[in-house]
Amino acid sequence: MKKIVITFVITASIFLSCSDSEPAPKVTNIYTVGTQLIGSAEVATYWKNGVPTHLSDGTFDTDGRAIAVSGSDVHVAGFEVNTSNRAKYWKNGIVTNLSNVNSAAFSIAISGSDVYVGGYAEAKGGKLVATYWKNGSAINLTDGTQNAVAYAIAISGMDVYAAGYESDGSHSVAKYWKNGVATELSEGKEHASAYSIFVDGSDVYAAGYESNEQEISIAKYWKNNIATILSNGTKDAAARSIAVSGADVYAAGYDFYGGKTVATSWKNGTATPLSNGQSSTAYVTTVVGTDVYVVGYESNGTKSVAKYWRNGTPTPLVTDAALKSQAFSIFIGE
C-alpha cells in the first residue's frame, strides 16, 4: 500500500490508496478542525470522531485551519485574531506563537520529527510575506516587496512544496514554491491563487482559481503547470483542495447553483454538489480506499454548521443549531 502525506490550503491529511489486490485501509479515527462559537468568541476547535476539543479560552477569536496527527500527537495550525492576526501552532493543545507580527497559519505537514506550517507574516514595510515555519523557525518565500501568502504546504522526500500567490503589483499570481524556488501557474493577466498542493511522484498538482476578464473566479487545477478548468465562468467558483488516487483527480471547493454558493466535489472534472440547496463551502478533500471525504460547512438557514461528507453523505460536527461553526481541514487516521 502506498502512503503519501499531503497538505492543503487549510489542511493536512493522510491519503491512502490501494491496488485492487490489497484490502482497503482501516479507518478508526476521523479528525476535523475549525472554529466553534462559544459565548461571543469563535474558538479554534478540533473534533476527534465528532468529540470537540477547544484550543483557546475565548478571550480572543481563534481559527484552527489545518490538522495532522502523528502517532498520539495532534498538531493544529491556525491563528488568533486580536488587534491583528497572530500565527499559532498547537501540539496536543499546547500553543506555540509562531510570530509576533501580523501573521496567519493555514496549513501543516509532518515529516518525521519535523513540523512544517505554511502561511504569511507581515514585513516591516507592511507587505505580507509568504512564509513557512519549520519547527517554529520562519523561512520566507518572498522578499516583501509585494503581498504574498503560502496557503498550502507539502513534503515529498527532502523537498518542501508550498502553494499560494504573490502579487505582481496589479494582480495576484498563482504560484507554487519548491525548496523556495517559485513557479508561476498564472500569467498575471487576472487575479489567481493556488490554495492546495499535491505531489505524486514527479507530478505536481495545485488547485485554486483564476479570474476571467469579467472578474468572475473560475475553479481550476494545474498538473505540472497545465490548467484544467472546473467551472463554467458564469458565477464565482474556486477549488480549495486537490487529491489524486491512481488515475483519478479529486478536487473540492465551491460552485454556484440555484442562486447560492454550494460545496462541490469534482472527480476528473465532473462536479457533484454536496449541499441540498443551502449555502455551503468545501475546503479539503481526501481519499481513503474507495471513500472520498470532504470537509467544510453548510448553512442551516441562520448559522453555518461544520460538517464533513463521506461519499456525499453529510455528518454535522455541531448539532446545536444556535452555535456557529466551520470546519477547514480533515485528517483520516488508521
Q: Is the pLDDT of residue 15 over 50?
A: no
What 3-state DSSP class applies to 178? strand
Q: Is the pLDDT of residue 78 over 50?
A: yes
The three grid cell numbers given for residue 332, joined into one nine-digit string: 483520516
Phi, psi of 288 (to 5 degrees): -130, 110
Domain tally, the chain: 1
- Which of 18-22, 136-140, 145-149, 203-207 comes out lowest in average pLDDT? 18-22
What is the tens place of the pLDDT at every residue in 109-166? 999 999 999 999 999 899 999 999 999 999 999 999 999 999 999 999 999 999 999 9
In contact, 209 and 228? CB cutoff 8 Å: no
Q: Is the pLDDT of residue 178 over 90?
A: yes
Predicted local confidence at residue 322, as pLDDT: 85
The three grid cell numbers given for residue 236, joined into one nine-digit string: 464565482
Mean pLDDT of 281-296: 96
Torsion of CA 9, 11, 12, 13, to 10 degrees: -110
Q: Is the pLDDT of residue 18 over 70?
A: no
Predicted local confidence at residue 24, as pLDDT: 59
Q: Is the pLDDT of residue 5 over 50?
A: no
CATH number, domain at 29?
2.120.10.30
Mean pLDDT of 74-86: 95
- The 3-class secondary structure across 140-153, one letter per residue, is ECCCCCCCEEEEEE
Mean of pLDDT over the chain: 92
For cell 507587505, the residue is 127
Residues 6+ away with beta carbon under 8 Å from 216: 233, 234, 235, 236
Task: Return the percentage of the chain with pLDDT > 90, whole number.
Answer: 87
What 3-state DSSP class applies to 220? strand
Query: What is the pTM assigned to this prediction?
Result: 0.92
The three grid cell numbers given for residue 268, joined into one nine-digit string: 476528473
Amino acid at 334: E
For cell 454550494, the residue is 262
Q: Is the pLDDT of residue 295 over 90?
A: yes
In whole angstroms, what is the distance from residue 10 CA to residue 330 CA?
Answer: 9
What is the tens place of the pLDDT at every residue in 114-127? 999 999 999 989 99
Q: How many CB atoms lie within 10 A of CB 146?
A: 18
Domain extent for 251: 2-333
What is the tens place of the pLDDT at every residue in 299-322? 998 999 999 999 999 999 998 888
Our CA angle for 282, 287, 293, nearest 5°, is 35
Report how far apart, in Å, the C-alpha atoms of 53 and of each of 25, 32, 261, 268 are: 26, 10, 29, 36
Q: State the DSSP H helix or E strand holding residue 245, giving kind and residue range, or none if neither.
A: strand 238-245
Predicted local confidence at residue 19, as pLDDT: 42
In whole angstroms, what is the distance from residue 93 CA to residue 96 CA?
Answer: 10
In whole angstroms, what is the distance from residue 253 CA to residue 273 CA?
Answer: 10
In whole angstroms, what is the distance from residue 91 CA to residue 73 CA?
Answer: 7
The three grid cell numbers given for residue 179, joined into one nine-digit string: 525548496
Q: In this predicted model, which residue has the larger pLDDT, 27 or 179?
A: 179
The total number of residues written for the chain in this structure: 334
Predicted local confidence at residue 16, as pLDDT: 39
Q: Is the pLDDT of residue 2 over 90?
A: no
